[in-house]
Amino acid sequence: MPAAQAATNVVFVSGAFMRSIPVADLESLAQTGQARGLLADVLTLSKQKPADVAKLLNQQLTLPVVLTSRLLNTRIGEAILTRVAQIVFPLKAKAYGVPALKAGVILGLDNSKGSLSAISFLKAYPTSEMEVSIPALMAIASKASSIADLVNFFSNAPLDGLKGEPTSTK
């Protein structure tokens, strides 16, 4: 069953600067390996090969829907989602970032029968415009010198706040 609402644009925002890339252009790139419109210009300026980006857009992650839902609702899952929601959230509605991410992941997995890609996530995202905060994205990128650093940032760092918290039994 297709999502009732889906992202139609990914909106990159920095202060007053806003640029939208239609999800249809990302989907076209994923299917054909050819970029079009603003996406083509962005890839050219950033010296990214369209084929490499298409490969990332098509990369599938197979996860069980029920287990994923349960994990996203744990303290660790919430901590990771909270970090990601500082970068990606519904346009002009940052407070709804965590529920929107949960919905996009779970609906994307459900719609794609247990497999999630960037495109299936966007097609399941519960608002028509998904904002990407350029300053927040750049802050994360500056802390990470490799993919391994990014994985550590999103998986280990949220645990830091949980380690020293004593559990009270009343």
Looking at the whole model, is its pTM more than 0.85? no
pLDDT at 167 over 60: no
CB of 93 closer than 8 Å to CB of 127:
yes
Number of domains in the chain: 1
Cβ–Cβ under 8 Å, residues 93 and 145: no
The verdict on residue 69 lying in a domain is yes
Give the CA radius of gyration of the chain. Answer: 17
pLDDT at 9 over 70: yes
Q: Does pLDDT of 31 surpass 60?
A: yes
Provide CB contacts within 8 A for 68, sequence distance 6+: 105, 106, 109
Is residue 169 included in any domain, yes or no?
no
The answer to whether position 3 is within a domain reads: no
Q: How many CA atoms lie within 13 A of 35 on its CB side?
A: 20
Specify if 170 maps to a domain.
Answer: no
Look up the domain containing 39 and give its range: 9-163
How confident is the model over 150-164, as pLDDT tens digits?
566 555 554 454 444
- Asked, for residue 4, whether it belongs to a domain, the answer is no
Instruction: Write out pLDDT tens, residues 72-123.
Output: 999 999 999 999 999 999 999 999 999 999 999 999 999 999 999 999 999 9
Indicate whether 159 belongs to any domain.
yes
In a domain, 168, yes or no: no
- Kindly report, residue by residue over 34-70, the tens digit of the pLDDT: 999 999 998 898 888 999 999 999 999 899 999 999 9
Would you say residue 2 lies in a domain? no
Residue 120: φ, ψ to 5°:
-65, -30
